[in-house]
Amino acid sequence: MKLIFGFTAILILITLIGMGAYLYNLIRKLAKLMTKNNTRRLVLNIATLGITALIFVCIFINKSTVIFLLYFFMFSVIIDAIHLTAKKFINTENKFTKIWTYAHSVYILPFILAIAMMIYGHYNIMHIDKTTYTVTTEKSIPAKGYRIGMIADLHLGSTIDLDELEKICHEINSHNLDIMVLCGDIVDEHTSGDHIKPVFEILGDIDAKFGTYFVYGNHDCQPYSSSPTFTKDELEKAITDNDIIILEDEVISLDNNFVIAGRNDFSRTNSSSRLPLEDLLKDVNLDDYILILDHQPQEYEENASFGTDLVLSGHTHGGQFWPLNYLLEVIPFNDGTYGLEKIKNTTTIITSGISGWGFPYKTSSDSEYVIIDIKPE
């Protein structure tokens, strides 16, 4: 985990340095277009430094500024590369090349594209879709199978309020669930202490035949806050008072042949306090259908080797920001980023989450709740 945070910090630092240098040169280039006078240029160069510094101050004040500048920077680099490549192969001058040259010189295109990405990202995080999966099993389960509802990464206080959550839960209730699972990060550092009781009252009203099950994520207990607004005991009481069952490296059997195992989250434990899967499942009949709830999508191979059938996770937000989702597929922070993957007889489903973290934008994936049907083959 320390290695991941270290790598992330270095990546952010490199990006900020690159953005700073690029923004300074960009503003300086625009300043040159405004005057030919050397004295005025000197004044404009000094002003450029001030404007660049002011922009970076805004980064730490306004989250929208961060997203706009990141996309503006990225699209500027891409369009600069296209412009330089085109100059090598296109020597003729016509109306189109004149318009392109002017648009490139004043950075109209990256500005428009950055604004478009922000609009798209805000719509994506606020518009919640239903995603459905059907998985099959050779194991002995009832002919009608099981229907599971899943919510993860609500991060109450980031984008979704209690009224919106109530509407979503009402919609989920229409699906006649057998099992409801909450796969972590339902609340976080932005959630007030006054909201932990009503949020779990709403989630506890979801009607599922065999109950609702919760596993902790890395944010639920506000570990990254210097002044938490509630304690773990208060959170636990709010959850259990609404008949939601918390699983912390615990196993529960349902309906004779169906087992749910809830994992302690990687970030909340060290390696010695998170049970090895072998120990967690030591008393489980491997002929039963085994469902694993694990906030972070980890241990794909281990889950498959012990004959688990279905693993449900969240945490990644589907990458949250394009093209970060593609980078996360390459860098092994987790074993996956989004969607369904099958290894041997084990199916893993990672949800992009019903919201996002930190920023009211989501450009790499939809916000969603998930309905999973398990059917006999």
Question: Where do the domains of the chain lie?
Answer: 2-122, 129-376
pLDDT tens digit sequence for 308-338: 999 999 999 999 999 988 888 877 678 899 9
Q: How many CB atoms lie within 10 A of CB 205?
A: 14
Q: What would the two tokens of residue 178 be?
A: 């057998």
User: Quick check: 155 and 183 in contact, CB under 8 A?
Assistant: no
- Which one-letter DSSP state was computed for residue 360? S
Q: What is the mean pLDDT of residues 208-227?
A: 94
176: alpha, beta or left, given left = phi > 0 and alpha = psi -120 to 50? left
Task: Report pLDDT for 182.
Answer: 98
Mean pLDDT of 152-175: 94
pLDDT band at 2 (very low <50, low <70, confident <90, very high): very low
Residues 6+ positions from 163 with CB-CB distance below 8 Å: none
Give the angle 298-287-346 at the CA atoms, nearest 5°.
30
Which residue from 315, 296, 325 is spatially nearest to 357, judged by alpha carbons?
315
Q: What amino acid is encoded at 105 in this protein? A: S
Q: How far is CA 243 from the centre of its chain?
A: 27
Query: What is the residue type of 223?
Result: P
Give the pLDDT confidence of 66-77 residue by residue, as tens digits: 788 788 888 888
Copy the structure tokens of residue 221.
């207990």
pLDDT of the residue at 256: 80
Per-residue pLDDT reduced to its tens digit, 89-132: 777 777 887 887 777 777 788 889 999 999 999 999 999 999 99
What is the rounded distance in angstroms from the CA atom of residue 372 to the CA atom of residue 150? 8
Share of the chain above pLDDT 70, in %: 82
User: Where does the pLDDT of residue 305 fall: very low under 50, low under 70, confident under 90, or very high at 90 and above?
Assistant: very high
CB 30 within 8 A of CB 106: yes
Query: Higher model confidence: residue 331 or residue 4?
Result: 331
Residue type, 264: N
Phi and psi, residue 180, nearest 5°: -120, 135
Between the CA of residue 164 and those of 7, 154, 168, 178, 320, what are the distances in Å?
36, 11, 6, 23, 20
Ordered strands of the 250-254 beta sheet = 250-254, 258-262, 289-293, 310-313, 346-350, 339-343
Our measurement of the distance from residue 51's CA atom to the centroid of its chain's CA atoms, rounded to an integer in Å, reads: 32
- Determine the Cα–Cα distance for residues 328 and 342; give it in Å rounded to an integer: 19
Q: How confident is the model at residue 36 (pLDDT cuts 50, 70, 90)?
A: low
Is residue 229 within 8 A of residue 213, CB to CB? The reply is no
- In the three-class reduction of DSSP (H, G, I as helix; E, B as strand; rest coil), residue 214 is classed as strand
Band the pLDDT of 1: cuts 50, 70, 90.
Answer: very low
pLDDT of residue 151: 98
Distance set, CA 19 to CA 49, 55, 77, 100 (Å): 13, 11, 10, 23
Return the amino acid letter for 315: H
Give the model confidence (pLDDT) of 39-50 as tens digits.
Answer: 555 555 555 555
Q: Band the pLDDT of 80: cuts 50, 70, 90.
A: confident
In this prediction, residue 19 carries a pLDDT of 61
Q: Lowest mean pLDDT: which of 9-23, 155-169, 251-265, 344-358?
A: 9-23
Output the CA torsion 168→156→178→338 (10° steps). Answer: 90
The more confidently predicted of residues 38 and 248 is: 248
Specify the pLDDT at position 326: 87
50-68 per-position pLDDT tens digit: 555 555 555 555 778 778 8
User: Which tokens is 100 given?
Assistant: 């392109």
Query: What's the rounded Cα separation, in Å, for the pair 288 and 222?
Result: 36
Question: What is the rounded distance in angstroms from the CA atom of residue 178 to the CA atom of residue 126?
Answer: 27
Arithmetic mean of pLDDT over the chain:
86
pTM: 0.85
Instruction: Say if domain 129-376 classifies as CATH 2.60.120.10.
Output: no
Residues 6+ apart with CB under 8 A from 18: 73
Q: Name the least confident of 26-30, 109-113, 185-189.
A: 26-30
* CB atoms inside a 10 Å sphere around CB 66: 16
Q: Confidence class of residue 5 from pLDDT cuts 50, 70 and 90?
A: very low
Mean pLDDT of 203-226: 95
First to last CA, the chain: 40
Q: What is the pLDDT of residue 48?
A: 53
